[in-house]
Amino acid sequence: MKVVFSGGGTGGHIYPALATIDEWSKQDSSVEFLYIGGERGLEKEIVPAAGISFESVKIQGFVRSLSLDNFKTVYLFLKAVTKAKKLLKAFQPDVVVGTGGYVAGPVLYAAQLLKIPTVIHEQNSVIGVTNKFLKRKVSKVGIAFPAAEQFFDTATLVGNPRAQQVVTGSLNSKFNFDELNLSNDLPTVLVFGGSQGAPKINQAMVEALPAFNEQDYQIIFATGKNRFQQVQDQIMSEKLTVKHNIKIVPYIANMQDLMPRVDLVIGRSGATSLAEQTALGKPMILIPSPYVTNDHQTKNAQSMVDAGAALMIRENELTGGTLVNKVNQLMLNKDQRKIMAQHAKELGVTDSADQFITLIKSAI
């Protein structure tokens, strides 16, 4: 069997594909995979590093206003379709799978023109632009959130394949808080705004330091690689103290080992993060990014709040004070954390990669 995956631009579109390929390869080593991504997306580095055959097409997204750039987008789309058709004819796949991002548009459209079965995966609670375009002729649809079902004629809830990978890895977690000069016996909060960090979250954390210094729980605060020095400079300029129960780091390389050990997660509400946290059953305080397409992070976060798995702070309401109040609400109430953790666990699909693979096979 031969399978093509396409998706990219951000890790949220790439990692579900890689998790599916990883699990499928374990189940059947005879399956051949090809990944078609964009020339400028993260996938051009991440996918080859994972040992997967990679080809690229040149594509860009539409500008959400009247712009001459959109004429270039249409031109690049048509060229990408032509190249994708050549790649697909050469590889002869049994099915082509799209996990989102602009690049999946021309690749799956080319497959549809060639009468090759296609499958899409929607990671968010609201449909993305690419999947909205592709859904008319797609063979099968997998969704991660029940709320996304309304956007498709038929869809199968499979969860996010990344979740299964995280749960499997958590069984072997041996993270020791001594590595961060923290206690292995204190309840722990993890705060992060993604690999690049989030300025508003960082600012609120700095404002909250005096209050967090006095708590009986501990906090790991990841600023993002490129924002660490900025946070340190602000702490020094404001002559703030960072006590022994708080550890500030640029990023956490072994997040998959740390995540199972923490008691509360604070961060954005991207699809992959939520898949990981629900699979592990983590109570959450979500601060959705307002800078994403269709405000989908707010919709993702609201679905968690509605299920009783999370609290939400909108970015325009985020201050050091609001953050401290929400954190104390949960960290000083173990019973509430347990209830939220259970609700989160109920939302998690821990065999998500297996379910998605089954769905893909059913399209052939």
- Both 34 and 118 in one domain: the answer is yes
Instruction: Examine the domain organization and report whether 203 and 305 are in the same domain.
Output: yes
Number of domains comprising the chain: 2
Is 11 annotated in a binding site? The answer is: yes
Q: Is 321 among the annotated ligand-binding positions?
A: no
The label of the residue with tokens 């969704």 reads 143
Judge whether 105 is annotated as a binding position: no
Q: Which residues pair with 262 in a beta bridge?
A: none
Whose CA is closest to 106, among 80, 140, 72, 75?
Answer: 80
Instruction: Note whether 321 and 354 are same-domain residues.
Output: no
What's the pLDDT score for residue 349? 84
The pLDDT tens digits for 78-129 are 999 999 999 999 999 999 999 999 999 999 999 999 999 999 999 988 898 8
Model confidence at 70: pLDDT above 70: no
Torsion angle of C-alpha atoms 159, 162, 164, 168, degrees rounded to 10: -160
115 and 177 inside one domain: no
How many Cβ atoms from other residues are within 10 Å of residue 56's Cβ? 20
Note the pTM of the prediction, 2 decimals. Answer: 0.82
Same domain, 318 and 329: yes
Nearest CA-CA partner of 1 in 86, 108, 91, 107:
91
Lowest mean pLDDT among 53-62, 138-147, 186-195: 53-62
Lowest mean pLDDT, pick from 56-65, 133-142, 146-155, 185-194: 56-65
**Consecutive H or E run containing 142:** strand 140-143
Q: The domain spanning residue 44 has which CATH number?
A: 3.40.50.2000
Identify the residue with better confidence: 36 or 257. Answer: 36
Q: Do residue 219 and residue 265 come from a single domain?
A: yes
What is the distance between the alpha carbons of residues 141 and 120, in angstroms, rounded to a whole number? 5
Average pLDDT value over all residues in the chain: 93
What tens digit of pLDDT does each residue of 165-206 get?
Answer: 888 877 777 789 998 999 999 999 999 997 678 999 999 999
Residues 211 and 156 reside in one and the same domain: no
Cβ(86)–Cβ(108) under 8 Å? no
Residues 284 and 144: their CA atoms lie apart, in Å, by 18
pLDDT band, residue 68 (cuts 50/70/90): low
12 annotated binding-site participant: yes
Q: Which of 225, 228, 235, 224 is nearest to 198 (CA)?
A: 224
Q: 3-state class of 55 per DSSP? A: strand
Same domain for 89 and 52: yes
**Pair (144, 28) in one structural domain:** yes
* 82 vs 227: CA distance, rounded Å: 41
Percent of the chain's residues with pLDDT above 90: 79
Structure tokens at 152: 């498709």
Predicted local confidence at residue 62, as pLDDT: 57
Angle at 344 between CA 135 and CA 200, to 5 degrees: 80
Same domain, 192 and 99: no
| Per-residue pLDDT, 31 | 98
Q: Tokens 């297996």 — which residue?
A: 354
- From CA 143, how far away is CA 258, in angstroms rounded? 27
Q: Which of 92-101, 161-170, 260-269, 326-335 has the lowest mean pLDDT?
A: 161-170
Of 215, 264, 206, which Cα lies nearest the Cα of 244? 215
27 vs 333: CA distance, rounded Å: 43
216 and 228 fall within a common domain? yes
The answer to whether residues 134 and 178 belong to one domain is: no
- Write down the pLDDT at residue 306: 95
Q: Within 13 Å, how many C-alpha atoms sit on residue 63's CB side?
A: 9
As a whole number, mean pLDDT of residues 332-359 equals: 94
Domain assignment of residue 126, given as a range: 2-160+350-363
Q: How far apart are CA 364 and CA 31, in angstroms?
A: 14
Q: Is 195 annotated as a binding residue?
A: yes
Give mean pLDDT, residues 215-230.
Answer: 95
Q: 34-43, 171-180, 275-284: which has the minimum mean pLDDT? A: 171-180
